[in-house]
Amino acid sequence: MLPTILDLSSLRAAYQSGLTPLDAIEEVIVRRAASRDAAIFITPVPDEELRAAAKDLMARAPEANSLPLWGVPFAVKDNIDAAGLPTTAACPAYAYRPKADSTVVARLRAAGAIVIGKTNLDQFATGLNGTRSPYGAPRSVFDAAYISGGSSSGSAVTVASGLAVFALGTDTAGSGRVPAAFNNLVGIKPTPGLLPNTGAVPACKSVDCITIFAATVGDGVAIRKVAEGFDAADPFSRRAKPANLPVSGLRIGVLAGAEREFFGDTEVEALYDQAIERAKALGATIVPFDYTPFREAAALLYDGPWVAERLAAVEDFLATNAADFDPTVRGIIEGAKGKTAVEAFDGRYRLEELRRKTEAEWEKADVLLLPTAPTTYTVADMLANPVVLNGRLGRYTNFVNLLDCAAIAVPAGFGKGGLPGGVTVIAPAFTDDALAPLADALHRAASSGMGIDRRAVIPETSRVAPGDDGFVEIAVVGAHLTGMPLNHELTGAGARLVKTCNTSGEYRLFVLPDTVPPKPGLVREPGYKGRGLEVEVWALPADAFGRFVQKIPAPLGIGKVALDDGTSVSGFLCEVHAVKDAEEITALGGWRNYISAKRAS
């Protein structure tokens, strides 16, 4: 029996106890059929195709949890390509059938995750409320009279109602964060460019981010690590340059004075104040800061020339299909027609001026703690005043991508009216991992459960502990892979799986003779132009890393292994003399494929 809200820890434990991906998919099918919100999905994967996907996974990787996301059901916002399903961007006339997965979806499927459907959104990802779709308006899981938040509306409701472990959204102005707040979820908003946008319909191409909705911060971070990595096909993709935050003495910036605007919503304001007190109890120093330059930067996204990027994304389609647009979305996008190149440059100059002003505020604080949204509205109120009320929702979100920040939105509790509120922790680019322990601690301290289940206990196994930056990453290529005979040496030492990926193309793989259990030898050959070999990157506690390395027998050792995203990590390498007469298996792409082929022969 699966819990009301699905999470990685609970699902993996169930799989380890004998549940199969097919069993989990059958439960998803039952839950989906019983859902009372008919607007969640635009294109659900048919039941029989879901069953077939689960069976295919079990044939491809029969051992439980043998892939990082083995049998994990997830949903995809319908402006992100998933092969076999149409991409509509919530505009039926725009729909097309992609020939391939988006880069992120492909990586998640390769890790064992199963797509259950394409979810509803504010059309062309233009909005923060979830009502701008011809497919209907998904509702808050706590009160169907209220908005779910947008534009990633269906994605958030899918996770919050227990239909999927996670869902992909996108975020230009806050669409990966506002729906999380309104549905008691975690929203992972990565540094722009960390997750490639190849295969995603752009809103504002220069600032768009693919995001993750999950039940816990630990889940969201684990999923992000599978999906991230440089992609040369995306001109805005970036190679990660991890940045740290202080482990102790953390300074958290909070709103003060006239910049505290909640539009009369005293319940959300009270939840924000409670979150500040929790941060203080966690040992942080609370520092008031001036939000003015951030707010003025936020205004540029819709009031400045950046709205022209929305027109650039759909200009040709708008010219022939204007009647197919949601009226509000059409009004916003057509408002860009009068923008000039001079205004575009003036907007860029203004943004840089404001960025310089924010530097003074970052000198005061390491992290900003802001309300995710200052209030919420009923669907009826939003439809009656769609532009003004939507604009209020983005007061504390619109600046984040323009100013190149990482952010994690977490639940902050419930008001007396029964609706949830949320807060977001924000820091400069590539602090994604460094933000996670604080975000996780704030979520746990709020005692608000997960999604629709307010009493759910966040699994201890998903905890993101302070000091995780003290872990050491190591790439394994053979007997230490998940499901292999020596994997217990990692898990028993407290290691956690970071991601599955490939080496760069300069490596060859051989079967070492007379080893028990069988082991491969990974050898780097500069100038060799291969496809790369599958490895898993694990994070070991620093003190356990030394003990682990001491046990490695010759001719194996630890050296730097170059990965296909341009980064490098410590990993298993073999002395060249040991593979002189050994069987080469480079063409198979990795040790797991070799073992599978050997079993089949």
What's the CA dihedral at 453, 455, 456, 457 to 10 degrees?
160
Active site residue 175: yes
Helix (H) or strand (E) holding 590: none
Active site residue 140: no
C-alpha span between 424 and 275 (Å, rounded): 10
Active site residue 151: yes
Helix (H) or strand (E) holding 173: none
CB 122 within 8 A of CB 128: yes
Write the DSSP assignment of 393-439 as a string of letters: HTTTTTHHHHTTEEEEEEEEEE-TTS-EEEEEEEEETT-HHHHHHHH
Count the neighbouring beta carbons within 10 Å of the beta carbon of residue 429.
18
Helix (H, G, I), strand (E, B), or coil: what is residue 485?
Answer: coil
CB 439 within 8 A of CB 186: yes
Distance of CA 179 to the CA centre of its chain: 14
C-alpha span between 176 and 551 (Å, rounded): 44
What's the CA dihedral at 46, 49, 51, 54 to 10 degrees?
-130
C-alpha span between 201 and 89 (Å, rounded): 7
Q: How many CA atoms lie within 13 A of 528 on its CB side?
A: 17
Residue of 87, 86, 80, 89 lying closest to 108 (CA atoms): 80
Q: Peptide bond before 10: cis, by omega within 30 degrees of 0?
A: no
Output b/e per residue, 181-220; b: 16+ Cβ within 10 A: bbbbbbbbbbbbbbbbbbbbbbbbbebbbbbbbbbbbbbb
Residue 170, token pair as written in the block:
């996108």
CB 39 within 8 A of CB 120: yes
Residues 6+ apart with CB under 8 A from 582: 510, 511, 512, 513, 521
Q: Write down the catalytic residue from 10, 66, 77, 140.
A: 77
Write the DSSP assignment of 521-567 as a string of letters: EEEE-TT------EEEEEEEEHHHHHHHHHTPPTTEEEEEEEBTTS-
Give ∠ CA 552-556-557 in degrees, rounded to 5. 75
Helix (H) or strand (E) holding 287: strand 285-288
383-387: long-range contacts, CB 8 A cutoff, minimum separation 24? 383/131, 386/127, 386/129, 386/131, 386/132, 386/328, 387/328, 387/331, 387/332
Q: Write down the catalytic residue from 66, 151, 237, 448.
A: 151
The dihedral through the CA atoms of 248, 404, 295, 362 has a sign that is positive
Helix (H) or strand (E) holding 249: none
C-alpha span between 96 and 92 (Å, rounded): 9
Residues 6+ apart with CB under 8 A from 102: 80, 81, 82, 197, 198, 199, 200, 210
Q: Write down the catalytic residue from 175, 448, 462, 504.
A: 175
Catalytic residue list: 77, 151, 175
